[in-house]
Amino acid sequence: MSSRSLGADLLACIGFYTRLPVGARVDDFAAAQWAAPVAGAVVGLISSLVLLACLWAGIPATVAAAIALGVAMLATGALHEDGLADLADGFGGGRSRDEKLTIMRDSRIGTYGVLALGTTILIKWAALASLAGIGAGTAFFALLAAHTASRALMVLFTSRVEPAREDGLSANLGRIEGQTALVALLIGAASLVLLGAGLALLAAILLAVWFWGLERLCRHQIGGQTGDVLGTLQQGGEIAILVTASAILT
């Protein structure tokens, strides 16, 4: 693979997973998914730098954490948060597989979606605020690792679990090969090492449990995965890393 194609893969993923004005055309977007965690690292870096700037400006850790989370959502257009809300509405309100998929495709948000978003944002804020209270550097690396490793999970999930629909974002992506998923996982694992070997191992175990649990749930509920499932996977992974770091380091 040439350096030019690697750069195109990276720009294609950044352009897709964020609202940043970059992008590139690639012949095989599925093969470019090795760069999904790198796109996550870009989001994490932006959010972390904003967090550092707020802390250095004397803004309280609780407020700085809220601002950093808001910046991350702006950078991604709340792409994964939207998926989480749709999945919560579908799995919570649908009775049959078809009804769940129909609700998940509906752009309107319901009670389950609101509760899921509120709860997850509150957990992330509390964990990040506690880390920021320890030190700016600690919060910086934890947030960077959370955004990077959580997006590596999406690549592996897509390679393992078939799409639940014949159309839609996930189905149109195409098949992700094992080698692509492996590269993404190695990038995600490398980001976890920033937190230290022991914490990285514990976070990896929790991510594996979350991955396995969501895989079983979505196979049972809708017979596969969708873009909403992948968004939920990312959000849960981000929470697992931030909560683990806050629990151990504080």
How many residues in total does the chain contain? Answer: 250
Burial class of 3 by CB neighbour count within 10 A (0 to 12, 13 to 18, 19+): exposed
* Total number of domains constituting the chain: 1
Record the tokens describing residue 226, joined without a space. Answer: 């969708």
Can you give the residue range of the structural domain that contains 154?
3-249
State the pLDDT at residue 9.
Answer: 92
pTM of the model: 0.94
State the pLDDT at residue 22.
Answer: 87
Closest by alpha carbon to 5, among 22, 38, 29?
29
pLDDT along the chain (250 residues), means of 10: 74 94 84 96 98 97 98 97 97 94 92 97 98 93 97 96 81 82 97 94 97 97 95 98 93
Instruction: Give strand pairing partners of 163.
Output: 225
Instruction: Give strand pairing partners of 225.
Output: 163
